[in-house]
Amino acid sequence: MRAPSRPLGAALGAVLALSLSGCGSSAPEGTGQVKLTLWHNSADPAPLLEMYKKFEKQSGHKIELVSIPSDGFEDTTQTKWATGDRPDILEYHATVSGLLALNPAENLRDLTGEAYIARSGDLYQAAGSVNGKVYAAITGFPQVFGLYYNKKVFTKAGLTPPTNFAELAAACPKLKAAGVTPVFESGGSIWPVQILPILYLAGANQSNAYGKAIAGHSSTLADAGSPFVSGLTAYAKLKTDGCFNKDIVTAKFEDSMKALVTGEAAMVAQHSDMLPALLAAAGGDQKTVDESVGFVGLSSDKPLVTYAPGPIGTFYLPKTGDAAREKASLDFVRFMTGPAYAEYVAASKTFPVFKDVPDPQGVSSVLQDVKKAYDTGAVIAFNSDIPGMGGLAQLMSELIAGQKDPQKAATQLQGQVEQAAKAAGLPGW
């Protein structure tokens, strides 16, 4: 075997030296600037992306954005997370059930002492925290779930939008007689069909009482006559009564938005973060949306909206063991929750989560309806604190297909909750 020739050896040496210099620290030593990896939801709105750039400019740190598709967001994040890969900053759900699945005590930094928590009211009583420790920095207004309705359709039919399930059931035949689909459900996208039963349960979940009872195992979803079984029964009855669109099994979420804006359907149960999709369905015409679409709260027996802290603008700081990067990522949280936050609220035209930041100007009339309904009566989604509820949407598909009755679906879901609660080591299981 011949030794490499001198030029070849020199070239190999140069490549090796370059390779070694490329490893490890991503910024020159001593500058205090580091590269932070941020796993973020691909649905982050432009004003939020702009905030990331502003932080780079102000701090001198570099943010490498790793975009996780919003379609399948939870699955993809879990998959990356399971490999042991950790970003410096993670944008993810603020619900306790979502948080538990990240094994926070082991993997996330405790942010309990940070200043933004005191300014957030009682937000962290129900979100972003486990066992008294706060792990999340929530900057996005919660997703507010309720009933979008077409104002023109209701005016023409001489009806007012329903705020409880009895009114909803009563409105169905009248709307059908007027030639419109009363409620448009999009089973082809799977997840939207769980919204109506969750709205129903707001009536039983004041102060998160029902959610706590299920998570603490003092009640089960499958108890005879439980609120959950009643919710599924009420949903099944609406289906039997023909309140839903014929293509409920195959229709996609985008179809529901279009049907609502055009007046082909009278109502769609959805949440407030879907307003951009509603605008897209109206061809980007905000005036059309404002003129035709309104929003009300709905539950089993009273006008309540259901809220759940969403993933957009909710940040966690995973433990990485790198002191410089951990300091910089904490700076990021302080930036996002600091003075720059008011700018973000004004630019994004969403409502603030901090008491000392004023509401934005020029908010669309639908979003004003959302805020009004939220201020009138808001209850956290009953499933926010319960791990293992991810199977609800799949079970709703089986309920719609007539494969499961409400009691059987509740029993099966209770099994999934038990599986997750035991895995999470929740007290009482």
Partner 1 sequence: MVMRNRAAWLPWALPAIVLVTVFFVAPFLLNVRFAFSSWTSFRAEITWNGLENVRTLIDQDLLANAVTVTVLYAILCMAIQNTVSLSLALALQRTSGINTVFRSAFFLPTLISPLAAGYIWRGLLAPDGAVNSFLGIEWAWLGEPSTALVVVAFIDAWKWSGLITLVYIAGLNSIPKALLESATVDGAGPWTRLRRVVFPMLAPALTFNVAVTLVGALSAYDVIAATTGGGPGDHTRALNVVMRQQWGQGFFGSASALGFTVTLLVIATAVPLVWWLRRREVTG
Which residues share a beta bridge with 390? none
* 139 or 233: CB nearest partner 1: 233
Q: In the set 39, 52, 55, 81, which binds partner 1 (CB under 8 A)?
A: 81
Helix (H, G, I), strand (E, B) or coil at 189: helix
Q: By CB under 8 A, is residue 42 in contact with partner 1?
A: no
Please pick, from the candidates 178, 394, 407, 429, the single residue that binds partner 1 as defined by CB under 8 A.
394
Query: Residues 230, 350, 384, 397: which binds partner 1 (CB under 8 A)?
Result: 397
Nearer to partner 1, 81 or 145 (CB): 81
Phi, psi of 295 (to 5 degrees): -145, 135
DSSP string, 238-281: HHHTT-B-TTTTT--HHHHHHHHHHTSEEEEEEEGGGHHHHHHH
What are the CA-CA distances from residue 148 to residues 184, 301, 382 (Å)?
A: 10, 18, 20
Candidates 13, 242, 338, 415; binder of partner 1 (CB under 8 A) is: 415
Out of 26, 103, 219, 220, the only residue in the binding site for partner 1 (CB under 8 A) is: 103
82 in contact with partner 1 (CB under 8 A):
yes
The token duo for 1 is: 């075997």
The span of 136-144, 276-284, 344-352, 401-409 binding partner 1 (CB under 8 A) equals: 401-409
Torsion sign across C-alpha atoms 7, 10, 16, 18:
negative
Given the rule CB under 8 A, which of 132-140, 195-203, 241-249, 288-296 is the region that contacts partner 1? 241-249
Distance CA 218, CA 216 (A): 6
Shortest distance (Å) from residue 329 CB to partner 1: 21
| Whether 37 contacts 64, CB under 8 Å | yes
Window 58 to 77, contacts with partner 1 (CB under 8 A)? 72, 74-75
Q: Counting contacts by CB under 8 A, is residue 346 touching partner 1? A: no
Residue 400 contacts partner 1 per CB under 8 A: yes
Distance CA 260, CA 278 (A): 9
Q: Which residues of 352-375 are buried (b: 16+ CB within 10 A; e: fewer)?
A: bbbeebeebeeebbbbebbbebbe
Q: Which of residues 146-185 bind partner 1 (CB under 8 A)?
A: none
Among 33, 59, 70, 78, binds partner 1 (CB under 8 A): 78
- Is residue 242 within the footprint of partner 1 (CB under 8 A)? no
Among 398, 405, 407, 429, binds partner 1 (CB under 8 A): 398
Distance of CA 47 to the CA centre of its chain: 18
Cα–Cα distance, 208 to 85 (Å, whole number):
34
Compute the distance between CA of residue 420 and CA of residue 122 in angstroms, rounded to an integer.
Answer: 26
Considering only residues 183 to 212 of the shown chain, the ones binding partner 1 according to CB under 8 A are 187-188, 190
Place of tokens 């405790």: 110
- Total binding residues for partner 1 by CB under 8 A? 39
**CA distance linking residue 372 with residue 297, whole number of Å:** 10
Quick one: which segment of 36-44, 86-94, 121-129, 419-427 binds partner 1 (CB under 8 A)? 419-427
**Site mask, partner 1, residues 354-393, x = CB under 8 A?**
---------------------------------xx-xx--
Q: How far, CA to CA in Å, does 370 sit from each of 192, 207, 246, 295?
A: 18, 20, 28, 6
Interface with partner 1, residue 416, by CB under 8 A? yes
Q: Determine if 47 is a binding residue for partner 1 (CB under 8 A).
A: no
Burial 290-300 (b: 16+ CB within 10 A, else e): bebbbbbbbbb
By CB under 8 A, tell whether 11 contacts partner 1. Answer: no
Q: Between 365 and 412, name the residue whose CB sits nearer to partner 1.
A: 412
| Residue type, position 170, single letter | A
CA angle 101, 107, 111 (to 5 degrees): 100
Residues that bind partner 1 (CB under 8 A): 72, 74-75, 78-79, 81-82, 100-103, 106, 187-188, 190, 246-247, 249-250, 387-388, 390-391, 394, 397-398, 400-404, 412, 415-416, 419-420, 423-425
